[in-house]
Structure 1
Amino acid sequence: MKKKKISKIVLISIILLVIVLYFAVPSFNATMKNFVTQLGSLNLDAVIELIRGYGVYAAIISFILMILQSVLAPIPALLITLANAAVFGWWKGALLSFWSAMAGAALCFYIARTLGRDYVEKVVTKTGLAKVDEFFERYGKNSILICRLLPFVSFDIVSYAAGLTPIKFWDFFIATGLGQLPATIVYSYLGNLAGSTKTIFIAIVSVVALSALVYMIGKIYNDKKKANKSN
């Protein structure tokens, strides 16, 4: 209990510090507004130029952008993943996207577990959180892995929602990694081919198809396992 209280104080202090910097430091304010504006525009070319414009610090900026989009759930991570592939090449971009997304997921989980449901609902909305809650109730301990394999399920809301459940952090982290890796590889490879809306469409279709295949194989395996137990 004492450890949780300390964590809450630390987290709130960090949030307050960011708020103070945002309103008190003009350059920080302008940079954050620019980041959110570029990501919110859903313009892949703009995000690519934003990251590339920081030169040797491009990877660090990309990492920060992924963390930012994780905390601000409505902003899509797909744009950053595709942009990373275009800027750094597909495999380097995939590594950067994967580990920055994992860091973002861990942060969302930590925030939810520390600050509770009331705070999370303000970030992701009650409706979005309720839908993920239903998914968790339906699929139980396999929910995290299944959610990560399905690109139409919000990555960030799942991370927040998981932090509100009794699931252990490492179980959440490993399931997130296993589910996130295929999507990151596919998005990064296709993003390296061309930066366009067509690429995004192809990437999404490919991941949906791959996810459906993985899900069907898993369902067949589980059904057979249950059948063997009943015999």
Structure 2
Amino acid sequence: MQKNKLIKYSSFLLTGLLVIGFVAAYFISDSFQTSVQDFWQVMWSGDQEKISNQVERFGIWGAVIIILLIILQMFLVVFPSWLPMIVAALVYGTIPSILISSTGVFLASSIGFVIGRQIGDNTIHNYMKQKTLDKLEYWIGNYGFWSIVIFRISPFLSNDAISVIAGGLKMKYLRFISATMLGIIPLATAIALFAENISTLKNGLYWIGGGGILIYAIFIYIDNRKRKKS
């Protein structure tokens, strides 16, 4: 239990250190501050090439910025969740970008989970009918692990909501984060390998996500029928 809590709350500590370091550099260095302001304007443009060029200027800090953007995306949807992963692949290459993207999702997911845990099921009760809550608890209890894997591997599903719900419904953290990483590493790998061909990448992600959802839906249907019979 103590090890579980240590892993879970260490994400807050690491994120806090990243934020403190970034903020300190922002106020200490005028050139860094100007670069950040320019970078933010470019991010709003959505231009992939411009964004990549901006990140490259930051060197190692660019990796920190990408991780912070993945975390920020959980709270403020200002750009697609997969965009920072593509930028990481274009700037840093295959292996480093997989590590950067996986670290960002690990931290963002852990924070979302802890937020859900702090909110608790009592608060969730206030916003959901008991029948809906029972269905969610049944789903998390029986299909939670692979549901999270499917949500992570498809960037077009709501990754952030599943983190909060899993935490609020008391899913075990190690089970949750294992499913998260099992889903996000293949996605980050696919993005890293095909980032330079965006049209191919998007089609591939649609096929992977759609195919995974279809196969999983068939599995759940068959499993539900077996459960009802037994």
8 Å CA contact 1:133, 1:161 repeated in 2: no
2:170 partner SS = coil
Identity %: 24
- Distance in 2 (CA, whole Å) between partners of 1:149 and 1:73 is 19
- Distance in 1 (CA, whole Å) between partners of 2:135 and 2:150 is 9
Q: For each residue in 1:123-154, what CA deviation from the matched residue of structure 2 results, as whole angstroms up to 9, or x when unmatched? A: xxx9xxxxx98984573332323322443211
Q: For each residue in 1:15-54, what CA deviation from the matched residue of structure 2 results, as whole angstroms up to 9, or x when unmatched? A: xx98xx7xxx697987776555444433222321221110
Aligned to 2:159: 155
Aligned to 1:77: 81
Distance 1:115 1:38, change over 3 A: farther
CA RMSD, Structure 1 to Structure 2 (Å): 4.3
Q: TM-score, normalised by structure 2?
A: 0.65
Aligned to 1:204: 205
Distance 1:166 1:31, change over 3 A: farther
Aligned to 1:184: 188
8 Å CA contact 1:183, 1:207 repeated in 2: no
Deviates more, 1:31-40 or 1:98-107: 31-40
2:54 partner SS = helix
Aligned to 1:165: 169
Q: CA deviation at 1:181?
A: 2.0
Aligned to 1:139: 139
Distance 1:104 1:34, change over 3 A: farther
1:52 partner SS = helix
- Gaps spanning 5+ residues in structure 2: where? none
8 Å CA contact 2:118, 2:168 repeated in 1: no
Aligned length: 201
- Distance in 1 (CA, whole Å) between partners of 2:119 and 2:226 is 43
1:167 partner SS = coil
- Distance in 1 (CA, whole Å) between partners of 2:148 and 2:209 is 16
Distance 1:53 1:32, change over 3 A: closer
